Amino acid sequence: MTKTQAFETLYGKIEANRAIEMAESIIHWDALTSGVPVLSLPARGAAAGWLSGEAFRRFIAPDTLEAIETLESFGSELSFLESAMVRELGRKYRKAKAIPSEALQAFSALIAQSQSVWETAREKRDYEMILPYYEKIFDYQRRLCDWYGYEKHPYDALLDDFEPGVGVDILEGFFAALRAEIVPLLGSIMDKGDRPEEVVGSFDVDKQKELLPWLTGFIGYDRSRGKIGEVEHPFCTTITRHDVRITTKYHEDSLMSAMYSTLHESGHAIYEQNIDEGLEQYGLANGSSMGMHESQSRLYENMICRSRAFAGVLLPKLQGLFDFFAKWDEGKLFRAVNITRPSLIRIEADELTYSLHIMVRYELEKALMTGEIKAADLPGLWDDKYEELLGVRPNNMAEGVLQDVHWSGGTIGYFPSYAIGTAYGAQWMNEIKKTVDVDAAIKSQDLSPVSGWLKENMYKHGMSMTPGELLLKATGEPFNVKYYIDYLKEKFTGLYL
């Protein structure tokens, strides 16, 4: 295969798979947001499954590897984007081919069953129902570590699927720092017993729908290249960079839930909308990693929209819609949107405690992959770790080990991206503030200096650089947990101590 033929082969596969992914995304969006007939769901699922299988078959064909190896032989003769494309496709191909086909088929069938079993087990609070599935899922993941290969720790092989370059060695230091600094801070706050007033009341859903377009526009989500849907569990999906859709869930008794989940999904969407369009032909027009994506959702949701400056901008909007806020002032709202308390449910956790929830899952997953613990041990260990780190203990399985869907879906190694991504966000914000007055931008209701910096230094690069390369290029240093800890300590010490 010549160099030209190799490029044509890979470009063709990228283009075909992009079309397939668009179709899958539309099916997924339509099924969750459009109130489609229930009887149509099996056929939709079958169609999505066929599309996914077709994309996989096209990708693992022998000519893919021949094209990758041909271009790898040209080394430094390739352009930066060509090299990034070959790097990413080579990494993806070799991982896919490392898995025995019969094992992959069996695992796919297992997952198709386990997720529905998990839903029932969580509802009935019965861990024994899901245990046989977990045992098989974790056994497969341990074998997957060996098939992928690793240098230092088996868990590294799975982490690489979601956060390239971040292994156990980095995560151990990261979580140790949180344990040393954030756990005592949380304890001091709880000991003081200072409880801000909460936003608790009845908030008309139609008025919430008036507020959310302003919120998303404020932070830079371009609704002319997307839309907002309603679902049970909010998500963001990319059809193309010119069609990035977000969803929300309105609760009449929980205004903050709809607000901040929408801001979170908008952060993901802003990233996708601002990736350089020229990266599409190289298959690089996606976020650099799950953690980098999370850095943007958490940056906008928390670091900007839970700031004192934003409270001053938000309050008049709330007062114009809801009588509840008539006598509130900026300081009261700032404290209300930053209430911290130990809790049992990860997705409801506040900014200070969120990464402690992730630490529980990280420590359990890591031990599962070495065989140090077994699936049967999880409920007790889960409860013990929550009591150790957060000072609370689940009352039932739904509050504890059965609260997350990830394990029943076969996703191991994903959780740490939530926490390290939040820390990436703090490092980005530290660098932005060297040249941008962020509070002034918020108060002027013009975040273009912030989004402009991020677009230039992060968004436009898509997957052309790894997370480590992005941070090093933009901030001059590798990942550093210091900025995250400093941010949390400064903010929550000022609020509570």
> Is the model's pLDDT at 28 over the cut of 90?
no
d(CA 368, CA 362): 10
- Predicted confidence (pLDDT) per residue in 317-335, tens digit: 999 999 999 999 999 999 9
pLDDT at position 33 is 83
pLDDT at position 56 is 87
Q: Which fold does the domain 146-497 belong to in CATH?
A: Neurolysin; domain 3 (1.10.1370)
- Predicted confidence (pLDDT) per residue in 79-120, tens digit: 999 999 999 999 999 999 999 988 988 998 898 889 889 989
> Is the model's pLDDT at 9 over the cut of 90?
yes
Map out the domains of the chain as residue ranges: 3-145, 146-497
Instruction: Find the catalytic residue in 265, 301, 365, 431.
Output: 265
265 assigned to active site: yes
Which pTM was predicted?
0.94
Own/partner long-range contacts of 187-194 (Cβ < 8 Å, ≥24 apart): 187/391, 188/496, 188/497, 189/340, 189/352, 189/492, 189/496, 189/497, 190/341, 190/342, 190/391, 192/496, 192/497, 194/496
